[in-house]
């Protein structure tokens, strides 16, 4: 156990080194330090836990992108890794929507990733294709990017009492950018995918299981033990066999890159439209990214915006 803990600490340093270097550079120039939003723990050489840590709401923004890229790159390259579990240590939130405070250029100015796609869709595509099994353990709200990270992962398990999944964007006149239009129909069929995407409503753990949004919905008290046991079992198996099986499943089940890229382009276009700017401004005024009630009940607040839309 001691060796494993030491190795885990070394891994954390390795995959977050760029972020710490950026933090030091920012301090040297008098800028705000980069907040570390992702923690990596090596349970064993074959099994990692990646914990999302950006309290109070686990909002995903341009500053998160290089940190997640470090993790995805490490997942792709490690010769011993077989399974990785994504979870959160922020109560009530797995991972939520994109950060609307930074200027859009902070996102659009980032270079494309190895696939040629912009950074966020690039990382999600690479995670899906990595020769490592990716599992999400959803406790709390998985909204927007949180839903999209879950869909890009190989398996999804949700707390029956505490998990909420949604693609909320339509309520703010936005198009989702992380690939749910390409992934959801392949998981749950066209009608249910459109229900999720066009209502922007919250989907609880049981309905998510029924629709195929997640593999299983489990009682909250059983979620951690179940996911850990599953990950440990997979971690015992041969890496090449795992990689080969996953690659063969990927062929008939994953969307092509151009579908994922089209979604991101539509998201960036939609963010700049006047309708979206007005609605995002209204949500910000209500307390988006600041008020816990707004973040926890985003479907309610976006529904209220629709009710007051002068175009109705």
Query: Residue 11 to residues 50, 53, 64, 165, 194: CA-CA distances in angstroms?
Result: 11, 17, 18, 30, 41
Residue by residue, pLDDT tens for the chain (312 residues) are 333 432 343 344 344 444 434 444 444 445 566 789 999 999 999 999 999 999 999 999 999 999 999 999 999 999 999 999 999 999 999 999 999 999 999 999 999 999 999 999 999 999 999 999 999 999 999 999 999 999 999 999 999 999 999 999 999 999 999 999 999 999 999 999 999 999 999 999 999 999 999 999 999 999 999 999 999 999 999 999 999 999 999 999 999 999 999 999 999 999 999 999 999 999 999 999 999 999 999 999 999 887 656 555
DSSP characters for 168-203?
Answer: -GGGGT----SSHHHHHHHHH-HHHHHHHHHH---E
Identify the CA nearest to 85 among candidates 156, 142, 179: 156
Sorted by where each starts, the structural domains of the chain and their CATH numbers stand as: 2-307 (3.90.226.10)
- CA–chain centroid gap for 246, Å, is 20
Phi/psi at 92 (nearest 5 deg)?
Answer: 85, -10
Task: Quote the CA–CA distance of 258 and 11 in Å, as a whole number.
Answer: 33
Identify the CA nearest to 11 among candidates 37, 35, 39: 39
Q: What is the pTM assigned to this prediction?
A: 0.90
């Amino acid at each position: 156990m001691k060796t494993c803990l030491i190795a885990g600490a070394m891994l954390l340093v390795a995959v977050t080194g760029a972020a710490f270097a950026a933090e030091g550079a920012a301090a040297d120039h008098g800028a705000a330090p980069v907040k570390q939003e992702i923690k990596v723990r090596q349970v064993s050489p074959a099994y990692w836990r990646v914990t999302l840590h950006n309290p109070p709401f686990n909002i995903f923004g341009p500053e998160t992108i290089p940190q997640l890229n470090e993790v995805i790159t490490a997942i792709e390259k490690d010769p011993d890794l077989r399974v990785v579990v994504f979870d959160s240590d922020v109560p009530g939130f797995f991972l939520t929507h994109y950060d609307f405070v930074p200027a859009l250029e902070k996102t659009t100015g980032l270079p494309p990733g190895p696939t040629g796609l912009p950074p966020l869709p690039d990382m999600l595509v690479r995670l899906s294709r990595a020769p490592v099994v990716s599992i999400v353990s959803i406790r709390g709200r998985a909204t927007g990017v949180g839903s999209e990270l879950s869909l890009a992962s190989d398996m999804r398990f949700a707390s029956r009492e505490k998990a909420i999944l949604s693609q909320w964007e339509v309520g703010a006149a936005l198009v989702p950018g992380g690939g749910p239009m390409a992934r959801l129909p392949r998981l749950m069929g066209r009608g249910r995918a459109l229900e999720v995407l066009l209502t922007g409503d919250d989907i609880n753990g049981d309905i998510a299981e029924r629709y195929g949004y997640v593999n299983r919905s489990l009682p909250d008290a059983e979620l951690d033990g179940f996911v850990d046991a599953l990950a440990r079992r997979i971690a015992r198996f041969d890496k090449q066999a795992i990689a080969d099986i996953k690659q063969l499943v990927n062929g008939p089940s994953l969307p092509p890159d151009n579908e994922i890229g089209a979604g991101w382009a539509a998201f960036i276009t939609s963010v700049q439209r006047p309708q979206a700017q007005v609605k995002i401004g209204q949500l910000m005024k209500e307390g988006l990214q600041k008020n816990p009630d707004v973040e926890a009940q985003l479907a309610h607040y976006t529904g209220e915006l629709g009710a007051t839309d002068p175009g109705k």
